[in-house]
Chains A and B, each alone.
Chain A
Amino acid sequence: MAAGSPIEFRLDPASGVPTYLQLVQQVEHALRLGYLKPGDQLPKVRDVVASLAINPNTVLKAYKELEVKGLVAGQPGQGTFVRATLSQIALPELTGLRKALLGWLAAADKAGLDEDGMVALFTSALRDFHERRGGTGRVRRGAARDEKEDIA
């Protein structure tokens, strides 16, 4: 049907983010913004490699991670297709999280941290959190997992 994928990947080599993670993030971002809908095909590994000159294993790794997250599914011989939209977190939970975050920001401000400092601290902590989790997104909590089990 459609000749290619709706999205096209790009690379930011200076961002410090590993290549495969950039691809994962771009897919998730595209899902959030509606560029990708369930049923759409992700760019073929070969095409990504040809346009970005990156290692095919990297692309496969990114697609595998997305698959584990339940966002895509690979059809052997055909490609990788979007399976689900990004999970919608339940509203009460979102509100609660937001409130906690505002509280943290106030505390940080009181301790004398400026906004750049807050961002730096948050980014550093996020990185640690990501690594401790093994960076695979294996352990998923909350509505996403439940949703996945419902579909299965």
Chain B
Amino acid sequence: MNVNVIEASGLGKRYGRTWALRECTLAVPAGHVTALIGPNGAGKTTLLNLAAGLASPSAGTVSVLGGVAAGSRAALDGIAFVAQDTPVYKNLSAADMLHLTATLNRRFDKPYARARLAELGIPLGRKAGKLSGGQRAQLALTVALARRPKLLILDEPVSMLDPIARHDFMANVMTAAAADGVSVVLSSHVLADLERVADYLILLSAGQVQVAGQVDDVLASHRMLTGPAAEADTYTQRPVVHARRGAAQAHLLVRATAGDPVPPGWEAHPVGLEELALAYLREPGAVALPGPARSRQAEQSEVIR
């Protein structure tokens, strides 16, 4: 079953005169951990806010969980959102947060939440304001997961956390994805850990989508060619995303597959996710979109035609 947890078409959001997000068209499939990456100010938070229903579009549409309107009752029910800086009420204890979230939602797995907090060593009675940053983030994540959502949206969840807290946080997210089939969309401007974690990638830069696709497909469709700098400018066999030059040697990130011919004297290597992302971020005009997976309706209408 091909369901898209987030589907956007021409989505745009404007604040005053500035477009924070423009012409955003993508389809994030269910059952994946999607990394939304891009520099600060790229529009990641805007996109996630639109998906979570905290903002409404200035242009285009966005739907979630297989065609449900973002922000609608069903969307709120099925999506758990953990905003940047993982907001929790500072004068509420962890137990209060559990009770609060249970009261505000249809589903809440309190035993699971308590067990998780116990595992993490977070005392139920202490006020959230007195917890460490990592513990607050874990608390926010716990109440989100205990809602048993279909989609978990995390906005820069680990940027404030130390390495151990970061690892524990991501381990818990990944376990939920594994055990309960939760789809995850998380944004980050830290690229290093993403290759381990993400299997779907959206690269956002200056409010526009540059890359959107399965990580495997994206990596398989790019190669790094290394060869003489003199020939770099005349290379036209495949689209060049980004070029780096020394005096004698040049590296070209091209859109090509393993089977594509390599010019004589050149070497071809596969590209890692971090390198690829950096290259695209350095070339705002470059776009690599395999095309969003159509919704079933679109496919059916094509068959009829």
Contact = CB atoms under 8 A, between A and B. Distances in A.
A50 B267 contact: no
B269 A53 contact: no
A11 B196 contact: yes
Interface residues on A, range: 20 to 34
Interface centre among A13, A53, A56, A59 (most CB of B within 10 A): A53
Interface in B144-190: 167-168, 170-175, 177-179
A19 interface: yes
Contact of B269 (A45, A46, A127, A132): A127
Contacts of B174: 49-50, 53-56
Contacts of A3: none
Contacts of A88: none
B75 to A, nearest CB: 25
A49 B175 contact: yes
A57 to B, nearest CB: 5
A49 B178 contact: yes
Interface centre among B167, B172, B270 (most CB of A within 10 A): B270
Nearest to A60: B178
B265 interface: no
Interface string A63-99: 0000000000000000000000000000000000000
A53 B259 contact: no
Contacts of B31: 57
Contacts of A16: 272
Contacts of B204: none
Interface centre among A45, A58, A59, A132 (most CB of B within 10 A): A58
Interface residues on B, range: 20 to 34
A116 interface: no
B199 A57 contact: yes
A124 interface: yes
A2 interface: no
Contacts of B193: 13, 53
B226 to A, nearest CB: 11
A55 B170 CA distance: 10
Nearest to B196: A54
Interface string B22-65: 00000000011100000000000000000000000000000000
A18 B195 CA distance: 8
A55 B174 CA distance: 6
A58 B259 contact: no
Nearest to B257: A131
A45 B196 CA distance: 14
Given A124-B267, A131-B258, A132-B259, A53 B196 contact: yes
A46 B179 contact: yes
5 contacts: A13-B196, A18-B195, A55-B177, A56-B177, A57-B199
